[in-house]
């Protein structure tokens, strides 16, 4: 089995939360790591999503970083909420 790992950085301008993390994370740049596995039965390369993780400040140790598994749909939702705050959309309009 061949695993491909990709990394990207996303920036949050406001405190945010992601389902499954269990706490509010501070604003800043976060590295997102995505693992995909090669489906070997096909005659052309196709990768299937395996896991998405975010590198976030550890809650218990100052200066430490932890890797938290997240759902990419939840990450997208958190990024969209942050973008709404940046554009000045009122809090009450976000849930509609």
In sequence order, what DSSP letters do the residues of 22-55 get, joined into one string? -SPBPSEEEEEEEEEEE-TTSSS--EEEEEEEEE
pLDDT of residue 60: 80
Task: List, for residues 46-80, the tens digit of each pLDDT value.
Answer: 999 999 999 999 888 788 999 999 999 999 999 99
pTM: 0.81
| Contact by Cβ (8 Å): 79, 72 | no
Residue 22 pLDDT more than 70?
Answer: yes
Please give the C-alpha separations between residue 43 and each of 37, 38, 46, in angstroms, as whole numbers.
15, 11, 9
Q: In sequence order, what are the beta bridge partners of 56?
A: 66
- Residue spans of the domains in the chain: they are 3-87
């Amino acid at each position: 089995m061949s695993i491909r790992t990709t990394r990207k950085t996303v920036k949050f301008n406001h405190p945010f939360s992601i389902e499954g993390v269990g706490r509010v994370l501070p604003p800043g740049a976060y590295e997102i790591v995505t693992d995909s596995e090669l489906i070997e039965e096909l005659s052309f390369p196709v990768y299937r999503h395996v896991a998405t993780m975010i590198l976030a400040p550890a809650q218990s140790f100052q200066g430490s970083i932890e890797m938290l598994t997240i759902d990419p749909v939840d990450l997208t939702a958190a990024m969209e909420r942050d973008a709404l705050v940046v554009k000045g959309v009122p809090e009450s309009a976000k849930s509609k």
